[in-house]
Structure 1
Amino acid sequence: MGLSTHPEQLQNKSSKQRRRPMKMDTASNPTNKRRLIPHLFRPFHKSSSTEKIVAKIMELNNKAVTLYCEGDFSTASSLFQEAASLRQESDPWPVIELERNEPPPSSYIYQRMDFDEGMVLYPDTEAVESGDHPKSVQAKILFNAGQARRKLEDLCGASGYYERALRTFLLADLNERTPIAMITVHKVIIPILHNIGQVYYRKGNLKQAIVAYKIALQHCKSLLGEEDFSVGITLNCLGVLYYHVSVEQSQDAIQCFMKAVKIQQRVLGKNSKEEATTLNNLGRVHVQREEFDKALNFYEQALEIRRECLGKDSIDYAATAFNAGQSLHQKGDCDRAIELYQEFLRVALVKFSKNHRDVAVVLSGIAQIHQERKEYDKALKLYEESLEVGRGALGEYHSEVAMLLNRIGNFHFERENFDQALIVYKQGLKIEKRVLEKTHPNIIVTLSNIGEIYRQRGDFDLAIKLYSHALSLQRKRFGEGSAEVANTLNVIGLIYDQKGDSNMASKKLQGALLLRRSILGDDHLDVSATLTHLGTIFYRKNMISTAMQLFDESLRIRRAKLGDDHRDVSFTLYNLGLCHQLQGSYKEAISCYSETLRVEKLVLGANHRDVSMTMYKLGEAYKADGNMEQALIHFKNALAIERSTIGREDPATVARTLNEIGNIYLARGDVVPMMESFNEAARIFQEAGLSAQSVTVSGQLYAFGISVPAAAPAA
């Protein structure tokens, strides 16, 4: 496609055709030695016949320019093409047929023209003047023809004309490393390169767009100076492209935008509409980086400027209001977020119509807030309205309609309405498979969502099938050694564990662990999570030493990353306590449980269900270690919490703890409280539908294995 990271070979030209650029005499301009002079053509002598053709060309061009300004782009395009043909006849230059190597389908979705990103700097045509060199005339007419084709949304036709215009000045194959000296310098090159980049951008070929804008930036600086307005706008365009390429290039985007703002302020003064556009773009980058405070700061500046420069009925003002609303939503300021979402709708419903894609997106955003507030009826109504609007604007088969369906599926999933969620997810998947590339991330996410529903319903074979399909797509898209592959392997391992296939679970989790270590290093929290999952499997296999090694490493990572007072740290300590208790190391178990208890009380409060579980395990450990006094204290504390939190829904647990208290009184010879505890335990067991003989007077716990499963490590 003309510009390429693997440039095409130009056809051989005669030495006359491949003119060398003139060398600049820096001595005559000592204060600006790095500037290139703008006019590097040799003198041109016209014959009388050539003059007639040139006059005809100018007449056609001027007529086409008038029609272009009036909006008749189709007729203008025809006249520009006719003028270009005459120019070719008057002084033929080899026409270079550019190879059309279109990039593969991209997941990139073009930012619509409705909103200003500052990417369109040169929307007009170029005037052809009587003194222009034939090559300049050639380039301008070709450029103008491209402008008309772009207005007609013929991006391929526009791109072809722009590239032919650029080839007029090109002395070598063009790529990102082409020296500026190998391009004949002329001011028309800047709009040509800008519009080449803009077309590539709209077609989703972002890498080629970056090449064009980078070379345009060189020419802007060389022809017009480092602080020229065009330099600032070109930097803004590059920033937009870096933003769209990936989050990894977000810092490059920020640097471009910040430089652009400084130039815009210096040239135009503060608070120009151009500055507001760049500030809005800065906000988007910080959202991409999940830096919502910084994003909101830039959005608020842009919002104020756009309010003053454009008015509150401007669609660009409304777009920034929506952007700011999204950041406020992320920060939890939902009331203000809804206000700004409504401000967008106020403008959009006038500027567009109800059936507009962005109206659908905003309605969906408001629905999400109502969902978070547990206002489910309001949320569902707005989700359904957003889907109706999206379908009206885009039709049934569109990626954004699939996105709206996915949000509705998430809504039903959160409410554990798995049947309805499954229906909606499958509708979205059908659309995605039709309109997106086979390995698109959205398809992978939807497959995983469907797999998770099957997992939640206990359909483990179907869950593994769906997740395995997602895994195969991730391997194709991201590579075998990617974080995405590691994450899905980890989930598949957990499903095998739920299914009861500990061998396959261990195999998948070990594969995930190896990948996570290689990608993330040995000290990442995801590595810690997989270590913990593996530890629980080995614990259940009674491979206690191996389990302890895994839990120890997990604890080291979590303490280093999260500190001593984090819930996940307490989970791992609890698991280690179980291992020590099983090995008969009761003092070590007591130490782990005690620290677990401290963190849980700090994080969850003194009366949480998990606190009672840890107190019970402490009672067991103290009892086994012979410290009946401490055992009784902890069993009684556990009982008090159990009575207030789970007494009715899980009475067998209360009875179990009463039974333990009875055994402690028995060991101490306290007959009356012993009998009271045993009798109440027997009564509760009977009320729960269990035999009163479940009460065990031996003091051992194993009789309760049926009603209360053995404690297992926590994830």
Structure 2
Amino acid sequence: EEGEKPQQKSMLKSSFVEWNNKAVGFVEVQRFGAAKTYLKNAWRLAQKGKGKRSNVTSRLESKRSISDMIRTSSISQHVKPRPRSEYDEGMEYFGLQRLHDDSENGDAVILYNLGRVYQYQEKHDKALSTYMHGLAVLEDSDDPEITTILATLSGISTIHYKRNSLSDAVNTLNVAISLANDKCVCGPDSLEAAALLNCLGVVRYSLSDSEKALEALRTSLRLRKAILGENHLDVGTSLNNIGRVHFQTGGYEDALEAYGESLRIRKAILGTSAVDVAATLFNKGQAYHQLGEAQEAMKCYEGFLQTAKAVFGEFHRDVAIVLTCIGQVHHEQKAFSPAMEFYMAALQTGSRAFGTLHPEIAVTLNKVGNLHYELGDLESALIVYKQGLAVEQAVLGPGHANVSVTLTNIAEIHKQRREFDKALDYYKTALTLQKMYAPQSKLDIAATLSSLGLVHHQAGDYPGALECHQECLRLRREVLGDEDEEIASTLTHMAISLIKMNMHDVALEALLESSRIRKSQRAAGRNLSSRDMAFTMYNIAMIYHERGEHDLALIYYRETSRIEEATLGQNHADLGVTYNKMGQIHYKRGEIDWALHCFTRELEIERECQGPDSPSCARILNEIGNIELQNGNAKRVMECFVEALRIYRKAGMDDNNLVIYGRKLYHFEIVQSSAAPSA
């Protein structure tokens, strides 16, 4: 009987080997339930054949085991999982393992395979506990199979990754890489090391640790090219991942290069209709989009859309996402009608794929709101923004940055509709959330304070505006220092409130400092807004004008006009206002020819901007007529006054709007009939 025991064990081993391998076959055809049943039976048979089990815990107490090195509290954590991905990131390099009659560690292999089945079924807790059990069995073995250890560690890290326990994933992968790099195991130049480094790069990318991600991925790529050749599918996977990191850091040209190489390899091996080919095509489209190459981006997006619909069906989440991207390209090109069509299609598809409460639905709703806003349909924009806000609050929570952005969008609409109380309420809500949930985001808080200050200003609450701008200035100086365009902008806003409060001296000090910063930044080669510079110079001129310091006022008005002509063109309304102010000073100083020049330029601009029958043109003609009256140019006086009167009457305005310095209008009207020709 004792002689029969080895034979019985051999028969049991053959049985659990067979059951394990059948389970692997079931997994290959996605019959996960059957695979799980066979693996559980295989495990029971393996335990029968093993006899008395050794005490794993006591064996491990004397040393720091692999299990101890990677042990975390993740099994009891309740974290939001990552979205399921149909695309290959190279995170599942180690596949299921078949057994042979002479295989060692068969029970650990069975547990590893069972963990993989749970993983495929998205049962992450069971997968993780099964992997950890298998790892303990391997550590209890006298001669553990290193490939199974690495595969198990890879599985554990993948579960952490899928559950967004990214630091646990990094820790587990570092342990695995350390083991794989041992020359007595695989060695640092092995495919196993390359695969684990690729996984580490993907997790680092998800942590936005771009530098370390790129380091790991480049090492993985180098190893794979050396071992597998330039055109292997795994090389294409590494290149795609490298492209994603470049995209994350704003290196869009480098991303395009990596995506292009990945696409070439994947197309050659998988064909043009494979989902991984489509994934790289989409990634390439995003890089083109960021570079402003709309047509190239559109081609990539449309290629992805075609494959995604064919493979996943009409109502898949990625179909909804790419529809939004296509809509955005149209939107950016001001093709509003097709943009709206694609956004609506994205919402319909997304509602079927995600449900109505999902971050992607909120993203698309906000883009629809932006489109309505650009079209001037503020009511529709407001309705859609509020729909998006409700979704964001439900799925992202009040502390998410997108919630604050949407609140400020809603506030901006109320501001434009001069509903200042509502605008203030929304801005204050956004500010409260930012201070509560993201106090470290000082520049975002400062931006909201700036907007809040502008609403207070428009509402006539100048002290309230000044208070907001002062707090904004403090935060911006903490982050940016004293020599930044944002500091100059804030100083200008403060000055405008100070002017309204008749604190002209303090306002002038702030404006001159703003001007100095902008000139310094421009001299350093910074690309600044010329219009903002013109606005600052104009207000400096206004203060000097009010104080009667006309020489200084003219210097700044002329500089304002020079900037406006260079940046806004010869006939912009702002330029007309500046010429009017210069004309006033020249007239007051008795410089009649210069005054006529300035008012004539103002008239030319006003006719171009508002049309020849605008009442503002009549006002300027009236001014020019009075100057010509002082010059004794009777013909020109009559031409200007007659034309001004004609415009006023055409606009249904009273004749008394025409003013002749020192005279009454009726004396003039007796001489000229209402039907006099225009000048």
TM-score range, shorter chain: 0.7 to 0.9
Check whether the contact 2:323–2:345 (CA below 8 A) recurs between aligned residues.
yes
Distance 2:483 2:76 in 1: 42
1:494-520 Cα deviation digits (max 9, x unpaired): 222222222222212222221121123
Residue 60 of structure 1: which of 6, 13, 16 is its match? Answer: 16
Counterparts of residues 140-159 of structure 1 (less than 5 Å): 140-159=109-128
Q: What does residue 579 of structure 2 align with?
A: 615
Residue 123 of structure 1: which of 91, 95, 105 is its match? Answer: 95
Distance 2:539 2:10 in 1: 87
1:136-158 Cα deviation digits (max 9, x unpaired): 66654443332221122101111
Query: Once the 2 structures are TM-superposed, how far is the Cα of residue 232 of structure 1 from its aligned partner?
Result: 2.9
Distance 1:50 1:521 in 2: 80
What is the one-letter code of the residue matched to 1:60? F
Query: Once the 2 structures are TM-superposed, how far is the Cα of residue 667 of structure 1 from its aligned partner?
Result: 4.2
Judge which range, 392-401 or 681-690, deviates more: 681-690
Distance 1:285 1:665 in 2: 69
Distance 1:657 1:88 in 2: 107
Check whether the contact 1:558–1:568 (CA below 8 A) recurs between aligned residues.
no
Distance 2:51 2:342 in 1: 59
Distance 1:128 1:473 in 2: 61
Check whether the contact 1:532–1:551 (CA below 8 A) recurs between aligned residues.
yes
Check whether the contact 2:485–2:528 (CA below 8 A) recurs between aligned residues.
no
Query: Once the 2 structures are TM-superposed, how far is the Cα of residue 314 of structure 1 from its aligned partner?
Result: 1.1
Distance 2:251 2:539 in 1: 35
State percent identity of aligned pairs. 33
Distance 2:551 2:43 in 1: 90
TM-score, scaled relative to structure 2: 0.84
Check whether the contact 2:537–2:560 (CA below 8 A) recurs between aligned residues.
yes
Matched, 1:596 2:568: no
1:572-624 Cα deviation digits (max 9, x unpaired): 22222222222222222222222222222222222222322222233234334
Distance 1:279 1:670 in 2: 79
Matched, 1:114 2:114: no
Query: Once the 2 structures are TM-superposed, how far is the Cα of residue 631 of structure 1 from its aligned partner?
Result: 2.5
Query: Once the 2 structures are TM-superposed, how far is the Cα of residue 323 of structure 1 from its aligned partner?
Result: 1.9
Check whether the contact 2:16–2:43 (CA below 8 A) recurs between aligned residues.
no
What is the one-letter code of the residue matched to 1:163? M
Query: Once the 2 structures are TM-superposed, how far is the Cα of residue 51 of structure 1 from its aligned partner?
Result: 10
Distance 1:575 1:657 in 2: 22
Against the structure 1 CA distance between its residues 670 and 346, is the aligned structure 2 distance closer, same or farther, given a 3 Å change threshold? same
Residue 276 of structure 1: which of 236, 250, 262 is its match? Answer: 236
RMSD of aligned C-alpha atoms?
3.3
Q: What does residue 509 of structure 1 align with?
A: 469
Against the structure 1 CA distance between its residues 432 and 696, is the aligned structure 2 distance closer, same or farther, given a 3 Å change threshold? same
Q: 1:110 is paired with a residue of what secondary structure?
A: coil
Residue 25 of structure 2: which of 69, 73, 76 is its match? Answer: 69
Matched, 1:573 2:529: no
Judge which range, 557-566 or 268-277, deviates more: 557-566
Matched, 1:643 2:599: no
Query: Once the 2 structures are TM-superposed, how far is the Cα of residue 395 of structure 1 from its aligned partner?
Result: 2.4
Alignment size in residue pairs: 633
Distance 1:318 1:475 in 2: 42
Against the structure 1 CA distance between its residues 300 and 49, is the aligned structure 2 distance closer, same or farther, given a 3 Å change threshold? same
Distance 2:406 2:351 in 1: 19
Against the structure 1 CA distance between its residues 412 and 90, is the aligned structure 2 distance closer, same or farther, given a 3 Å change threshold? same
Against the structure 1 CA distance between its residues 126 and 635, is the aligned structure 2 distance closer, same or farther, given a 3 Å change threshold? farther
Query: Once the 2 structures are TM-superposed, how far is the Cα of residue 104 of structure 1 from its aligned partner?
Result: 6.7
Matched, 1:162 2:122: no
Q: What does residue 419 of structure 1 align with?
A: 379
Q: What does residue 31 of structure 1 align with?
A: none
Against the structure 1 CA distance between its residues 83 and 423, is the aligned structure 2 distance closer, same or farther, given a 3 Å change threshold? farther
Q: What does residue 172 of structure 2 align with?
A: 212
Distance 2:442 2:173 in 1: 31
Matched, 1:491 2:451: yes
Q: 2:56 is paired with a residue of what secondary structure?
A: coil
1:246-265 Cα deviation digits (max 9, x unpaired): 3xx32333333333322222
Residue 660 of structure 1: which of 623, 627, 631 is its match? Answer: 623
Counterparts of residues 92-491 of structure 1 (less than 5 Å): 92-94=55-57, 99-100=73-74, 105=79, 110=82, 112-125=84-97, 127=99, 132=104, 139-166=108-135, 186-222=146-182, 223-246=185-208, 249-479=209-439, 482-491=442-451
1:315-340 Cα deviation digits (max 9, x unpaired): 11112222222222333332332222
Against the structure 1 CA distance between its residues 216 and 692, is the aligned structure 2 distance closer, same or farther, given a 3 Å change threshold? farther
Distance 1:438 1:61 in 2: 54
Against the structure 1 CA distance between its residues 102 and 402, is the aligned structure 2 distance closer, same or farther, given a 3 Å change threshold? farther
Against the structure 1 CA distance between its residues 161 and 58, is the aligned structure 2 distance closer, same or farther, given a 3 Å change threshold? farther
Against the structure 1 CA distance between its residues 280 and 131, is the aligned structure 2 distance closer, same or farther, given a 3 Å change threshold? closer
Against the structure 1 CA distance between its residues 481 and 338, is the aligned structure 2 distance closer, same or farther, given a 3 Å change threshold? closer
Query: Once the 2 structures are TM-superposed, how far is the Cα of residue 356 of structure 1 from its aligned partner?
Result: 0.9
Q: 2:57 is paired with a residue of what secondary structure?
A: coil
What is the one-letter code of the residue matched to 1:655? A
Residue 684 of structure 1: which of 626, 633, 647 is its match? Answer: 647
Against the structure 1 CA distance between its residues 84 and 63, is the aligned structure 2 distance closer, same or farther, given a 3 Å change threshold? closer
Distance 1:652 1:345 in 2: 55
Distance 1:529 1:676 in 2: 45
Counterparts of residues 541-580 of structure 1 (less than 5 Å): 541-559=501-519, 560=521, 562=526, 566-580=530-544
Counterparts of residues 525-536 of structure 1 (less than 5 Å): 525-536=485-496
Check whether the contact 1:405–1:424 (CA below 8 A) recurs between aligned residues.
yes
What is the one-letter code of the residue matched to 1:224? C
Against the structure 1 CA distance between its residues 621 and 674, is the aligned structure 2 distance closer, same or farther, given a 3 Å change threshold? same
What is the one-letter code of the residue matched to 2:258? F
What is the one-letter code of the residue matched to 1:417? D
1:657-679 Cα deviation digits (max 9, x unpaired): 22332343344443432343344
Distance 2:482 2:138 in 1: 54
Q: 2:122 is paired with a residue of what secondary structure?
A: coil
Q: 1:90 is paired with a residue of what secondary structure?
A: coil
Distance 2:517 2:621 in 1: 38
Query: Once the 2 structures are TM-superposed, how far is the Cα of residue 88 of structure 1 from its aligned partner?
Result: 9.8
Q: What does residue 676 of structure 2 align with?
A: none
Distance 1:473 1:57 in 2: 63
Check whether the contact 2:39–2:110 (CA below 8 A) recurs between aligned residues.
no
Distance 2:344 2:591 in 1: 62
Q: Which has the higher contact order (CA 8 A, sep 6+)?
A: 1
1:350-391 Cα deviation digits (max 9, x unpaired): 211111111111222222222333333322222222211112
Against the structure 1 CA distance between its residues 112 and 270, is the aligned structure 2 distance closer, same or farther, given a 3 Å change threshold? same
What is the one-letter code of the residue matched to 1:226? P
Against the structure 1 CA distance between its residues 55 and 334, is the aligned structure 2 distance closer, same or farther, given a 3 Å change threshold? same
Query: Once the 2 structures are TM-superposed, how far is the Cα of residue 423 of structure 1 from its aligned partner?
Result: 2.6
Distance 2:509 2:101 in 1: 81
Distance 2:447 2:46 in 1: 57
Q: What does residue 9 of structure 1 align with?
A: none
Query: Once the 2 structures are TM-superposed, how far is the Cα of residue 643 of structure 1 from its aligned partner?
Result: 0.8
Query: Once the 2 structures are TM-superposed, how far is the Cα of residue 481 of structure 1 from its aligned partner?
Result: 5.6
Distance 1:58 1:451 in 2: 72
Judge which range, 627-636 or 51-60, deviates more: 51-60
